[in-house]
Structure 1
Amino acid sequence: MEELPLPPGFTARKLDQVRKAFEAALGADKVFFEDLDRLTYQDKFAIDEDAHHPSGAVGPTTVEEVQAIVKIANQFAMPLWPISRGKNFGYGTSAPELAGSVVVDLSGMKKIEFDAANGVATIEPGVGFYDLYDYLQANGLPFWLSTPGNSWGSVIGNALDRGVGYTPYGENTKFLCGLEVVLPNGELVRTGMGAFDGADTWGLYPFGFGPGWDQMFVQSNFGIVTKANVWLMEEPESLMGMDVEFDRPEDLKAMVDCIGPLRREGLLRQSPSIGNWLRAASILTTRDEWTDQPGALSDDVIDAIRKRFNIGWWGVSLRLYGREEMNKAAYKVLESEIGKIKPMLVKPTSWVKGQPMERSGFTGTPMTFPLQNVNWYGGRGGHIGFSPILPQDGDKALAQFQRTYARYKEYGMDYQGSFAFGERHLINVNAMIIDKDDDAKMAKIDTFFRALVADAKANGYGEYRTHLDYMDLVAGSYGWNNNALRRLNETVKNALDPNGIIAPGKSGIWPSRLAGERKS
């Protein structure tokens, strides 16, 4: 039996009192405090798994049960860590930031309502992408999801952590429209038009009257979201586009400078993502098929892998959605602009409603195959994401790639990276693929990650999300005016949650009571 993880100031006796209070409120079948339960809610991708062990978990299935949990947590000053489904791989999965916290597992809350006239899904946190997709299919509803690379996760959870999908609705957090939230004092609030009794516009107008609170509950610890309205994209008449490969690392500059203007002007409404060769190869093969040499792969090995699978150093998939005649006209522009930067390969694709559909993220189909990349090194695989925000500038993107690639080589890591387009920005998503059974390599990961953060910070780039291990580090990098933003966040935190019970440390936001737990 492992040592019982306890939050600060707790004894085993006090934890047992908390467990009994939860059982009285929820029933023993919704309270999980055995050794196997604690093991289930650990993060197996973490560099140090022991840093984030929960003391137990509870599994509410109603809003009233969530309120009861919050009431008990306040009574005992027990830290809670809410999760939707716990599938946020690479960022912490289901484990808490503060060891000893009780995980509030919302995966049993799975209700779905759908406004077919307006394309609005009203869902609970346990609804995953597969669940919502199956609901749409079973009810013959012509709407598409915006699915991330791992669709095991929660639709709400993904949007609340600013996850990104592949369709024109790819920036998922932007398509939240009204939340239901249990506040740290147990009170239930609805944001936007949900605050107006009897309004049938809760899922239609995102702002309501006064401050807009939806985004205040994104990546924060100000409450527990129990319901959300999510806008879905109506199935288009047609889809057209191309998969494009480029031969050299230096081609990244031309790709960004070509695609960026097309995204900003609205010709491309999706969130295209430029990915390097390993993003494609890691789901098709494993490293041991090519070499047994330590350190980062040589150019010769990379060239051999690319040749076998006929992939570029960089690749990008570009898609157009809407009426067929409009897509045909837009495709001509797209084809001309891409042709100017001399790709090594262009593979056109098209679909019209009524034809057999490509089952991919571009058509709102859930998927999990990108997670195959964790098998790249063998052993117990995993990955951690390093993802700074950049402007859509080819020179700056290329410089950022070159700095990052040099760091990967310095630390003997194979580089998997991508550059995903928003309307005005790029997210440079770098996957640090790990082998938990390689002690020598694992010993380098923390220093490697911190070097990447420091490099980005020196050039004015901050991360948009991060793993539990680095929430304090990343929050601290947003240092303008003596970390004024963090101080604002913590002022709000202490006002809403004086006992500091909801997700202490989430996004580097610590309540005063637990401020001593902050890490560098």
Structure 2
Amino acid sequence: MADAPLPPDFTLQKLTQAQRAFESALGAGKVFFEDLDRVTYQDKFAVQDSAHLPAGAIAPTTVEEVQAALKVANQYRLPLWPISRGKNLGYGGSAPLLSGSVVMDLSGMKKIEFDEEFGTVLLEPGVGFYDLYDYIQANNLPYWLSTPGNSWGSVVGNALDRGVGYTPYGEHTKNICGLEVVLPTGEVVRTGMGAFSNAPTWQAYPFGFGPGWDQMFVQSNFGVVTKMGMWLMPEPESLMGMDVEFDRPEDLKAMVDTIGPLRRERVLQQSPSIGNWLRAAAVATTRDEWTDKPGALEDHVIDAIRKRFGLGWWGVSLRLYGREDVNKAAYKVLEKAMNDINPMLIKPTTWRKGEPMEYSGWTGTPITFPMQNANWYGGRGGHIGFSPIIPQSGSAALAQFQRTYARYKEYGMDYQGSFAFGERHLTNVNAMLFNKDDPAMMAKVDPFFRQLVADAKAQGYGEYRTHLDYMDLVADSYDWNGGALGKLNSKVKDALDPNGILAPGKNGIWPKGLGGRA
């Protein structure tokens, strides 16, 4: 305990007292304050290993225990940092923003309640994508998940941080329907129809009566979500689609301008993602197989990698789900649209209910292989993501790519980028791959990231989520009307959390006395 990090204005004696109070409230088996415990909850992809250090962790497994933990935290003014499973790799993982916080690990809360008739599920935060998938398979339920590239994580936690998947239900936050939340002061509330006693419609209608609070608990520190309702996609009769490769960087413009209208028309109901060659190659090879030269890869090396794996400069997977007759008609539209812009390759795919299924994100199967990209540079690999929201315009996407690619070259980093479609926007996800055992490389990550934020800000583009290191930076970039939104967030924070103990600083939302906006 002697080396434990401490919150501001805290003493080791006070931390020891709080630990004993947690043990009394939860039982010693759910309280973790040894050195190994603290290391376990650090950010495995941290840019600076000395930042975001937890003082310890607790693991309540019931709503009552969450309430009891919050009571102790309020008594000692000790900050808590709730996590669902702590697998938000590239954004901070299980680590707290404020060093000295105690991690509230909810991974032991794993209850699943499934309504087979309507395809709704009520989950606790410890339920991972593999857990829910196994539940559906074991009970032979005719529904598909939407999974992110790292399916180790929590279904609840992913939706609360606006994570995405690859099916028509891929914008996970949009499929939230009703929450149970423990407020920082210990009160338990249910949102939407859950506020009505014994309502059978809690997971059917997301709004209820009065203000809709579900989204207020997304990417915020206003409460601890202990249950979340979600909608799942009925198993389709058929799946049709194609994997398409394009040869030149400039083809991005035509891809966006062709796919965008189909997405807005809902001919494409999924959320396609255009990815560059490295997104595919980094899960199949490592950099040292191709070169030992420092700096960004030269074009001839890129060409060699692409040739071996049959990759375009950009690739996209497009899928149609539902009734087979409808899919056949939509496929003709999709096929013509892609052929009209001269792809390098079109690889069709089909599936009908009852046939063997590919195990991929396109079929809602949990996956983790995309995390292999952390090994690209070797050593202790990792990455962080820079992900601004941009207009769904080919010209805007190409210009954003060209600016960003030039910065990657300037800082000597290999470019992994993608453009994921919503209905009206693009999320430009750029992965900064690195080797933590390379001090020269790690020294470039922070100035590189800050430069990308500044470049995007100059275009009016803001990030939709970010790593712990940059939550204040990104929050401050939302500066309209003197940062009015940040001030509103702080007012709500101080009203709901008067002692400022719950996840201080999360997404730039600080309580009074710890950087709260006046």
TM-score range, shorter chain: over 0.9
Q: Distance in 1 between matches of 2:425 and 2:317?
A: 18
Deviation at 1:2, TM superposition (A): 7.5
Q: Distance in 2 between matches of 1:230 and 1:119?
A: 9
Cα displacement string for residues 385-412 of structure 1 (whole angstroms, at most 9, x for unaligned residues): 0000011100000000000000000000
1:468 alignment partner in structure 2: 468
2:159 alignment partner in structure 1: 159
Q: In the alignment, residue 284 of structure 1 is paired with which amino acid?
A: A
Cα displacement string for residues 441-474 of structure 1 (whole angstroms, at most 9, x for unaligned residues): 1001100000000000000100000000000000
Matches within 5 A, 1:474-489: 474-489=474-489
Deviation at 1:138, TM superposition (A): 0.2
The reply on whether 1:353 has 2:321 as its aligned counterpart is no
Cα displacement string for residues 76-103 of structure 1 (whole angstroms, at most 9, x for unaligned residues): 1110000000000000000000000000
Sequence identity (%): 78
Matches within 5 A, 1:207-222: 207-222=207-222
Q: Distance in 1 between matches of 2:33 and 2:220?
A: 26
Q: Distance in 2 between matches of 1:186 and 1:2?
A: 31
Q: Distance in 2 between matches of 1:350 and 1:239?
A: 6
Matches within 5 A, 1:353-392: 353-392=353-392
5+ long unaligned stretches in structure 1:
none
Deviation at 1:329, TM superposition (A): 0.4
Deviation at 1:503, TM superposition (A): 0.4
Q: Name the SS for the 1:433 alignment partner.
A: strand
Q: In the alignment, residue 264 of structure 1 is paired with which amino acid?
A: R
5+ long unaligned stretches in structure 2:
none
Deviation at 1:3, TM superposition (A): 2.8
1:242 alignment partner in structure 2: 242
1:166/1:271 contact within 8 Å kept? yes
Cα displacement string for residues 402-449 of structure 1 (whole angstroms, at most 9, x for unaligned residues): 000000000000000000000100000000001000000100110000
1:60 alignment partner in structure 2: 60
1:121 alignment partner in structure 2: 121
Matches within 5 A, 1:29-44: 29-44=29-44
Q: Distance in 1 between matches of 2:374 and 2:2?
A: 27
Q: Distance in 1 between matches of 2:200 and 2:502?
A: 31
Deviation at 1:255, TM superposition (A): 0.2
2:90 alignment partner in structure 1: 90
Deviation at 1:379, TM superposition (A): 0.3
Q: Distance in 2 between matches of 1:197 and 1:111?
A: 21
Q: Distance in 2 between matches of 1:431 and 1:62?
A: 36
1:425 alignment partner in structure 2: 425
2:310 alignment partner in structure 1: 310
1:8 alignment partner in structure 2: 8
2:495 alignment partner in structure 1: 495
Deviation at 1:117, TM superposition (A): 0.6
Deviation at 1:167, TM superposition (A): 0.3
Q: Name the SS for the 1:377 alignment partner.
A: coil
Q: Distance in 2 between matches of 1:449 and 1:488?
A: 27
TM-score when normalising by structure 2: 0.99
Q: Distance in 2 between matches of 1:513 and 1:134?
A: 45
1:257 alignment partner in structure 2: 257
Q: Name the SS for the 2:126 alignment partner.
A: coil
Cα displacement string for residues 243-292 of structure 1 (whole angstroms, at most 9, x for unaligned residues): 00000000000000000000000000000000000000000100000000
Deviation at 1:358, TM superposition (A): 1.1
1:178 alignment partner in structure 2: 178
Q: Name the SS for the 1:211 alignment partner.
A: coil
The reply on whether 1:286 has 2:286 as its aligned counterpart is yes
1:107 alignment partner in structure 2: 107
TM-score when normalising by structure 1: 0.99
Q: Name the SS for the 1:308 alignment partner.
A: helix
1:499/1:513 contact within 8 Å kept? no
The reply on whether 1:46 has 2:43 as its aligned counterpart is no
> RMSD across aligned C-alpha pairs, in angstroms?
0.8
Deviation at 1:513, TM superposition (A): 2.4
Deviation at 1:514, TM superposition (A): 1.2
Deviation at 1:382, TM superposition (A): 0.2
Deviation at 1:335, TM superposition (A): 0.3
1:412 alignment partner in structure 2: 412
Q: Name the SS for the 2:68 alignment partner.
A: helix
Q: Distance in 2 between matches of 1:253 and 1:364?
A: 29
Q: Name the SS for the 2:513 alignment partner.
A: helix
Which segments of structure 1 move beyond 3 Å, counting only runs of 4 or more? none
1:277/1:315 contact within 8 Å kept? yes
Q: Would you say how many aligned residue pairs link Structure 1 and Structure 2?
A: 517
1:224 alignment partner in structure 2: 224
Q: Distance in 1 between matches of 2:130 and 2:2?
A: 35
Cα displacement string for residues 146-189 of structure 1 (whole angstroms, at most 9, x for unaligned residues): 10000000000000000000000000000000000000110000
